[in-house]
Amino acid sequence: VIVRFRAIGNAPILKQNLYKINASNKFQAVIQFLRRELNYKASDPLFLYINSAFSPAPDELVANLVKCFNTDGHLIINYCTSAAWG
Amino acid sequence: MTAPQNPITRAIWDGTLPIKFSLDSTEAAELGAKTLVEPYFLEAPRCSYFPLLTSQIRKYFVDMSLNFIGDDAEIWYDVDGIPLKWHYPIGLLYDLHTGYRPDSNSPPPLPWPVTVHFKNFPIDKLIRAQAIDATQDFFMSMIKEADFLRNGSTKKVMNLSKNDQTQLWDGLWSSFSQKYRTENYDRFWSINYRLVTNDGQLPKHVPLRIYLPDNCPVIQEPIAPSDENGNQLTLGDVLHQILPELFPSPLPTENAFAAPVIHGVIPQLNIPILWASQNLCYPDNFLHIVVLLDS
């Protein structure tokens, strides 16, 4: 499945923001992936949201998220360094 | 403001489970418990969450001379060696981990024996809570996810006043104070009512999740409440659509290989899924349905 990352506020922008991710992964894998791409330490705050709306639990399956919340077949993930939508 | 009187949502709100919390025996020795520590019995609301019980449980074991000075977030629970996901409602965890079929001839396994751990948090199996109000954050995220499923946005939840949003959580976490049960039900449902009935508008999708035993992946799919012809889908229709091998027909037949369990009961397959969503959901607005196989 395809995920599209979108930076919010002061969050660093990725060189590439479209990635293919295995649907059987948990959302945790997406979080780890983004942290690695941004070279963030475990202690650096990073918040991820689907469709600028909510934060799924890290154990939610990417497959389920895509089925339920995709935009034109891909999953839009917004990220920022502070809590944006509560 | 009082919630509309609904005996079903009230019964679900009031549902409890007697749980027997035993200390992990190796930890008991390591943490300096002098004698064999008696287990702690607690009647827990099915709609609550384990972290909301932790301070009470911790106090009991510390009073029984356990040397624990760490964070509440280090405390975790397991059943038969399987760590319990603290962000799942207690009732869901019970139905899923015991696999108890209410239509069986044997009595339910109660009190539910749960082991409490004060060390060795399994970070590979459980989410590590970073903040004290992690449970509240996860709960509110579920409510937003449900709103998004219904409406394609979280506008409804986000437009609730800060006070209303707090009321939802406060109504829930203080829910097991027996004295204030009714006040808390009203507090919670006076606001939740607008969310689950979607202010009278037909939702795009119904927030639901299906759980199968033995660590099967959780199923969540976008389910519309009616078909193209405007006919209301039933629970049987939904189960047949999602799990056709287990539910070969949307109607109750002898050919079914499984039954749905929610809040410890097997609902009839002919109930409309929209009605189920509004009346049988958990406080997090989701219908968490455990599917148990016929033996």
CB of B127 within 8 Å of a chain A CB? The answer is yes
CB pair distance less than 8 Å for A68 and B141: no
Please state, in angstroms and rounded to a whole number, the distance separating the CA atoms of residues B73 and B133. 10
CB pair distance less than 8 Å for A67 and B140: no
CB of B204 within 8 Å of a chain A CB? The answer is no
Report if residue B123 sits inside a domain: no
Please state, in angstroms and rounded to a whole number, the distance separating the CA atoms of residues B115 and B290. 22
Report if residue B1 sits inside a domain: no
Structural tokens at position B87 = 């962000």
List the CATH number of the domain containing B279: 3.10.20.90
Whether residue B108 is found in the same domain as residue B189: no
Interface of chain A toward chain B, CB-CB under 8 angstroms: 24, 50-51, 53-61, 63-64, 67-69, 85-86
Nearest CA in chain B to A48: B141
Whether residue B18 is found in the same domain as residue B41: yes
DSSP B125-156: TSPPP-STTHHHHHHHHHHHHHHHHHHSSSHH
Please state, in angstroms and rounded to a whole number, the distance separating the CA atoms of residues B15 and A80. 39
Strand partners, A76: A4
Q: Which residues contact B106 (CB under 8 A, 6 or more apart)?
A: none
Report if residue B70 sits inside a domain: yes
CB pair distance less than 8 Å for A68 and B158: no
Please state, in angstroms and rounded to a whole number, the distance separating the CA atoms of residues B189 and B43. 22
Q: What is the largest CA-CA distance in chain B?
A: 68
Whether residue B220 is found in the same domain as residue B266: yes
Report if residue B266 sits inside a domain: yes
| Matching residue, tokens 């459980």 | B126
Report if residue B287 sits inside a domain: yes
Provide the pairing of β-strand A2-7 with A74-80. parallel
Check whether domain A2-80 has CATH 3.10.20.90, yes or no: yes
DSSP chain A: -EEEEEE-TTPPPPS--EEE--TTSBHHHHHHHHHHHTT--TTS--EEEETTTBPPPTTSBHHHHHHHH-BTTEEEEEEESS-S--
CB pair distance less than 8 Å for B221 and A67: yes
| Matching residue, tokens 């202010």 | B199
CB of B249 within 8 Å of a chain A CB? The answer is no
Instruction: Provide the residue type at A22 as one letter.
Output: N
Please state, in angstroms and rounded to a whole number, the distance separating the CA atoms of residues B33 and B65. 5
Please tell me the predicted confidence (pLDDT) of residue B180: 79
Q: Which domain holds residue B111?
A: 7-117
- The predicted model scores a pTM of 0.94
Whether residue B28 is found in the same domain as residue B94: yes
Whether residue B12 is found in the same domain as residue B109: yes
Q: Where are the beta strands (DSSP E) in chain B?
A: 16-23, 40-45, 76-79, 82-83, 112-117, 208-211, 258-261, 287-293
Final residue of a structural domain among B160, B181, B200: B200
Which pLDDT tens digit goes with each residue over A27-71?
999 999 999 999 998 889 999 999 999 999 999 999 999 999 999
List CB contacts (< 8 A) between B87 and chain A. 57
Please tell me the predicted confidence (pLDDT) of residue B270: 94
Report if residue B278 sits inside a domain: yes
Nearest CA in chain B to A84: B158
Q: Which residues contact B279 (CB under 8 A, 6 or more apart)?
A: B6, B8, B9
Contact B215, B294 (CB under 8 A): no
Please state, in angstroms and rounded to a whole number, the distance separating the CA atoms of residues B83 and B122. 8
CB of B78 within 8 Å of a chain A CB? The answer is no
Please state, in angstroms and rounded to a whole number, the distance separating the CA atoms of residues B255 and B295. 13
| Complex prediction ipTM | 0.94
Residues of chain A with pLDDT > 90, as a percent, come to 86
Whether residue B41 is found in the same domain as residue B21: yes
Report if residue B171 sits inside a domain: yes
Cis previous bond, B111, omega within 30: yes
CB pair distance less than 8 Å for B138 and A57: yes
List CB contacts (< 8 A) between B141 and chain A. 54-57
**In chain B, how many domains are there?**
3
Q: What are phi and psi of B165, to 5 degrees?
A: -65, -40
DSSP summary character for residue B292:
E
User: Mean pLDDT, 10 residues at a time, over chain B (295 residues)?
Assistant: 78 95 86 78 94 92 86 92 96 97 93 94 86 85 96 93 91 76 89 92 96 94 93 95 92 81 95 96 97 89
Does pLDDT of A19 surpass 60?
Answer: yes
Final residue of a structural domain among B82, B117, B152: B117
Q: Which residues contact A24 (CB under 8 A, 6 or more apart)?
A: A61, A62, A63, B217
CB pair distance less than 8 Å for B154 and A64: no
